Amino acid sequence: MKKIILSLGLAVALLGPLAPAAHAWGFFGHRVITQVAIYELPASMQAFYFRHMPELVRLCTAPDERRNQDKAEASRHYIDMDHYAEDNPFAKMPRDYENAQEKFTADTLRKYGTVPWTVLENRTKLVEAFRERDTTAIVKYSAELAHYVEDAFVPLHTTVNYDGQLTNQGGLHSLWESQLPERYILTYKLSGDEAKAPANSQDAIWGVIQNSYGFLTATFDLETKASKGFTPQTKYTYTHRFGKTQRRYSDAFADEYNKLVGGQVDFRMRQAAPMVASFWLSAWQEAGRPDLSGLMYPAKLSKEEKEKLDVQLKAFKANTLPQDQLLLAQQKEKKVEAPDEIKAADPNEALPPPEPEPAPAEEPAATVTTPAAPAKVKVKTKGAAGTEKAKSKPKPASW
């Protein structure tokens, strides 16, 4: 195993950083979820959030955008639970930050990620913003809170093997959270539950992380399964950029992986939106339910705004937001193919994308209630010489 990891390390060094996705959850995924969350709010909050929808959707990717400038930012987006224990790390990790810090030290928590506490911190800031009736701060912290809650829904944000880099599955991160949603959005059912303030925000976000962790086995194993029948030439696409060769999964492979993973990505997106809305709602309630129309000028939605919202709510309920081109992310994220992209030598690659798959099954590829052990290979690599090296590769800025 040591050997495999070392040679993987060499491959990474030769290839340069594994191609970071254009965006993670992708900017695309983050923006879709944040927009959909607005449709799941109660009427008392919806008008305000709808009025500010373009800003919310734009600002919800700010935490990823500042990662290059702010070194402290990276660890706020994930928590590598399997660092703490191979089996059921949730039993070992105190949910409360103070207790967790006492047990593992602040440095360790920072190193392996703090997303649950970052969510709670931003929720507190949002409560304060509501109390202050500060529109700018409400929009800002609603967007930031949305980002971190959304990150907690991504299985690969809960493991040291966050990019499949320890199991020779490098690039898995952007395949899961960017390539698949961008490619299959037309098949996704985005209409989720209405917002419901959680009784306990700390438990709610830890529940999200525990469920994400439960999807890891499927996330890794199905990549292996999908690989059968692919050669390195057909599995990956190589891109030359700035003198470096980068590798990402080919669209043909993405199609195969998507077939196996089924509705997992769609399912996590559909669950993330109501959780975002629920956190906004709970912050607003805790702040004493301020009248948000008092912060709107004009105080009510115009006839035109109302009509737009109606159309969007109907499309949301009918699951046709992407088909109707009503997602702001679709309008902004026209994908431009790099001119110097080298297509893998797979004749199938030249074919147009297949017809959209039938609607994904309601049940995703993993049970959400029972957290399973993450990828077995990773567990075996603990303490191996190559592991630290691979782990210490900074996570790309867009994650």
Residues engaged in binding Zn ion (CB under 5 A): 64, 77, 151
Smaller CB separation from Zn ion, 216 or 226: 216
Smaller CB separation from Zn ion, 149 or 166: 149
Shortest spacing between CB 77 and Zn ion, in angstroms: 4
Question: Other C-beta atoms within 10 Å of 278: how many?
Answer: 22
Task: Say how far apart CA 33 and CA 317 lie, in whole Å.
Answer: 15
Task: Say how far apart CA 198 and CA 294 lie, in whole Å.
Answer: 26
Shortest spacing between CB 23 and Zn ion, in angstroms: 10
Helices (H), 105-184: 106-112, 115-132, 135-152, 172-174, 180-184
Q: Is the preceding peptide bond at 356 cis, omega within 30 degrees of 0? A: no
Shortest spacing between CB 318 and Zn ion, in angstroms: 30
Shortest spacing between CB 57 and Zn ion, in angstroms: 15
* Structural element, H or E, at residue 246: strand 244-249
Structure tokens at 278: 């629920």
Axis-axis angle for helices 115-132, 201-214 (nearest 10): 150
Task: Say how far apart CA 40 and CA 277 lie, in whole Å.
Answer: 6
How far CA 227 is from CA of 6, 250, 354, in Å, comes to: 22, 11, 18
User: Residue with CB nearest Zn ion?
Assistant: 77
Smaller CB separation from Zn ion, 146 or 190: 146
Structure tokens at 251: 């669209």
Structure tokens at 158: 């809960």
Sign (positive or negative) of CA dihedral 314, 318, 319, 322: negative
Shortest spacing between CB 63 and Zn ion, in angstroms: 6
Smaller CB separation from Zn ion, 360 or 396: 396
How far CA 199 is from CA of 59, 61, 150, 277, 340, in Å, comes to: 27, 27, 19, 14, 52
Smaller CB separation from Zn ion, 62 or 137: 62
Shortest spacing between CB 229 and Zn ion, in angstroms: 33
Smaller CB separation from Zn ion, 151 or 346: 151
Smaller CB separation from Zn ion, 64 or 82: 64
Smaller CB separation from Zn ion, 64 or 251: 64
Output b/e per residue, 23-60; b: 16+ Cβ within 10 A: bbbbbbbbbbbbbbbbbbbeeebbbbbbbbbeebbbbb
Shortest spacing between CB 232 and Zn ion, in angstroms: 30
Shortest spacing between CB 177 and Zn ion, in angstroms: 9
Helices (H), strands (E): how many in the chain? 20, 3
Shortest spacing between CB 16 and Zn ion, in angstroms: 22
Smaller CB separation from Zn ion, 151 or 256: 151
Shortest spacing between CB 25 and Zn ion, in angstroms: 7
Smaller CB separation from Zn ion, 179 or 312: 179
Residue type (1 letter), 98: E
Task: Say how far apart CA 181 and CA 172 lie, in whole Å.
Answer: 13
